[in-house]
Amino acid sequence: MKSSDSIVSSTQYKAFIILLALVGAILILLSTSRYGAGLSPDSVGYIAAARNLLAGAGFICYNGSPTVVWPPLYPACLALLSRTFGTDPFFVANVLNALIFGLIVYVGGVLAFKHAASFPSLALVATLAMLFSRPLFVVSVMAWTEPLFILFVLLCLIVSDSYLSKQDTTSLVLLSLSVALASLTRYIGVTLILWGAFIIVGFHRDRLKHRLAHLSLFTLISTLPVAIWLIRNYAISSSLFGPRGPSVFTLSQNLTYLFTTLLSWYIPRRIAERHSILMIVIAGLCLWVSLRLRSVWQGTKERLQPISPLLLFTSIYTAFLVISSTTTAYDPIDDRLLSPIYVPLTLIWLVLAQAFVDPYRKGFRTKSVKSFIVICIAIWFVYPMSYIIVNAINLISFGRGYSGKAWRDSETIRYLLQHRALEAKCALYTNGPDATYIVAHIAAKMSPAKSKYNSPEMVDDVPRLIGSWPEEDNACLIWFDTIDRPYLFTVEELQAIANMDRIARLKDGAIYSITRK
C-alpha cells in the first residue's frame, strides 16, 4: 500500500490534479467570457475600491465613503492585476477568479489524496466533486471575496498538517500568515484565528510552555494585519466593521437555511427542501452511523484523527455564521456564505466513507469494488454536473448581475447614457447607486432608507423627512423597478415626503424631478 506522501509526490497524480485544475480554470473563463464576472452590490464595492486604489485615493467606495464594510485584500489583488495588465479591475476579475478556482481544485485534490491514501478511487470522487461543486462554482463566477478566502482556508489546512507533524517554527509562521491573509479577505476569517489557537493548544504534543510560546507567536502574526485595518476603520468611521443593525432572521430561520443549503449541495434542492422526509432519513442514517462507529471505531480511530482539524474548522465556522447572522444583519445563509466549508465537509465525508467501506473491500474482488464505485460516481454526478453545465450555458448567454445582458439592455440605463446632462442639472438620488456607478458610470446618492439592511432597526420615517429631503434645491430620482430593496422607502412613500414630477417612464424604471415639500 502506498503512503500518502508517495501518492501525493507521484508524477501521475500531479498530472491528474493539474489537469483537473486547468479544466476548472477554463470552466470559469468560458462561463464569464462574454459578460465578465457577475456583479452584485458587494462586487461593485470591491471594484470601486480597486479603481480608487489605482487612482491613489486609497480604499474608497463608489459613493465616496471609506471602505470599511469589507477587508482590503481582494480589492488590492484586483488593483495589482489591473496595474499589471493595464486594464480596469472589472476586466481582470474573471481571470483572477479562474486562477483561484483552479488552485482550489488543485489544493483540494492534494488534501483529498492525502486523506484517502489507501483508496484513491474515493479521492478521485472528492476531487471531481470540487471541480463540479455547486457552491464553489456559484462564488467563482462572481466578483466576490469567497474564492480567495476559500483558497486561504485550504492553505491553512495544508500547513496545519505540516505543523502538526513537524511542530517547527517555519510551519507555525506559514500557518499564521495563511490565517492573517484569510482575515484580510473576509472578516469571518477571525474564525480561523480561533481554530488555529485550538490546533496549537489542543493538538500540539509538546510541553505546555512550548505550546503557549507557539500560541503567542501565532496570535501576534495572525491578528496584527487585521487589527491594523480595524484600527484604521475605527479612526475614520468610529466603527470596526461598518454600521450594521440587528438581524431580521431568527435562529430557527437560520438553522433552516443552513440545513437546506448543505443538503442541496449533494441532492436536488427540491428534495432538500422537504425537511420532514429528510429528517427521518437523516435520523436513520445517523443511527446507523453511530452503530457502525461503535463496531469499527477501534480500527478506524487512528485514521479518523487526521480529520480533526477539518471537523474543528467546519464546526467553528458554521457556529459563528449561525450566531452572527442571528444577531447581526447581513444576507441570509446561502451557498455563498457556506461555501468555505464545502471542501472540508467533502473531505470529512471522504474519510468517513473510506472508514466504512474498507472492512467490506476485503470480502469482494477489487474489480467488483471499482465497478460499483464507478456506477455510484456516474449516478451521483448527474445532478452536480447538470447544474454546472446549465448554469455555465446561461452565464455565457445572459451573464449575471450588473454585468449581465439584462442590465446592458436596460432602458433606464440607456436613458441615462443618452441624457448625460441630467447629472449636471440636478443632484441624483436612486434606489440603485451601485447600478448607476458600474453600468452607467454615474455617481448618485442612495434614496432614503426607512430601516437598516435586513434589520428591523428603523432609520427614518415619513414625518421626519418631510421638508428635509431632498437636501438640494434641484434634485432628481432614478428609480429601477428591477431592484428590490425593501429597506428603502418606495416611490409611493417618497411621494408623501417630497414633490415628485415624472420626467420619463421606462420599461424597467422611471426618472423623477423632486423638490422639498
pLDDT along the chain (517 residues), means of 10: 48 83 96 96 96 94 92 97 94 96 95 79 83 95 97 96 88 96 96 94 78 92 96 92 86 90 80 57 55 50 72 95 92 94 90 67 56 64 83 95 95 94 91 96 94 86 90 93 94 93 95 93
pLDDT of residue 286: 58
Cα distance between residue 314 and residue 349, in whole Å: 12
Q: Determine, yes or no, domain membership for 366.
A: no
The set of residues, in sequence order, having a beta carbon less than 8 Å from that of 378 and lying 6+ positions away, is none
pLDDT of residue 8: 47
- 9, 137: one domain: yes
The DSSP letter of residue 369 is H
pLDDT of residue 5: 44
pLDDT of residue 153: 97
Phi and psi torsions of 498, nearest 5°: -135, 165
Distance, CA of 293 to chain centre:
33
DSSP element (H, E) containing 513: strand 509-516
- 426, 512: one domain: yes
- 1, 129: one domain: yes
Q: Determine, yes or no, domain membership for 512.
A: yes
Does the global pTM surpass 0.95? no
pLDDT of residue 3: 47
Whether the Cβ atoms of residue 165 and residue 199 lie closer than 8 Å to each other = no
Q: Determine, yes or no, domain membership for 378.
A: no
C-alpha distances (whole Å) from 50 to each of 31, 59, 61, 89, 143 are 23, 7, 9, 6, 12
Residue written as cell 446549465?
A: 390
- Domain closes at, from 342, 372, 402: 402
- 277, 233: one domain: no
C-alpha distances (whole Å) from 385 to each of 264, 329, 389 are 14, 34, 6
- Domain closes at, from 224, 240, 256: 240
- 211, 276: one domain: no
Alpha helices in 339-381 (DSSP H): 342-361, 366-380
Using DSSP's 3-state secondary structure scheme, residue 467 falls into coil
Q: Determine, yes or no, domain membership for 93.
A: yes
Q: Determine, yes or no, domain membership for 103.
A: yes
Give all strands (DSSP E) within 399-484, no chain letters.
Answer: 427-430, 445-446, 475-480
- 260, 201: one domain: no
Q: Is the peptide bond before 470 cis (omega within 30 degrees of 0)?
A: yes
DSSP element (H, E) containing 512: strand 509-516
Residue written as cell 443618452?
A: 418
- 317, 417: one domain: no
C-alpha distances (whole Å) from 349 to each of 126, 152, 220, 359 are 9, 21, 34, 17
pLDDT of residue 352: 76
Whether the Cβ atoms of residue 157 and residue 110 lie closer than 8 Å to each other = no
- Domain closes at, from 220, 240, 260: 240
**Residues forming a β-bridge with 502:** 512
- 164, 272: one domain: no
DSSP element (H, E) containing 506: strand 498-506
Whether the Cβ atoms of residue 343 and residue 147 lie closer than 8 Å to each other = no
- 6, 136: one domain: yes
Q: Determine, yes or no, domain membership for 367.
A: no
- 394, 414: one domain: no
Full domain range(s) for residue 257: 245-329
Cα distance between residue 468 and residue 514, in whole Å: 12
Sheet hosting strand 498-506, strand order edge to edge: 445-446, 427-430, 475-480, 509-516, 498-506
Q: Determine, yes or no, domain membership for 150.
A: no
- 60, 169: one domain: no
pLDDT of residue 272: 63
Q: Determine, yes or no, domain membership for 357.
A: no
Whether the Cβ atoms of residue 129 and residue 33 lie closer than 8 Å to each other = no
pLDDT of residue 1: 42
Domain count, the chain: 4
Nearest to 258 by CA among 345, 337, 188: 337
- 113, 219: one domain: no
Cα distance between residue 169 and residue 206, in whole Å: 13
End-to-end CA distance of the chain: 82
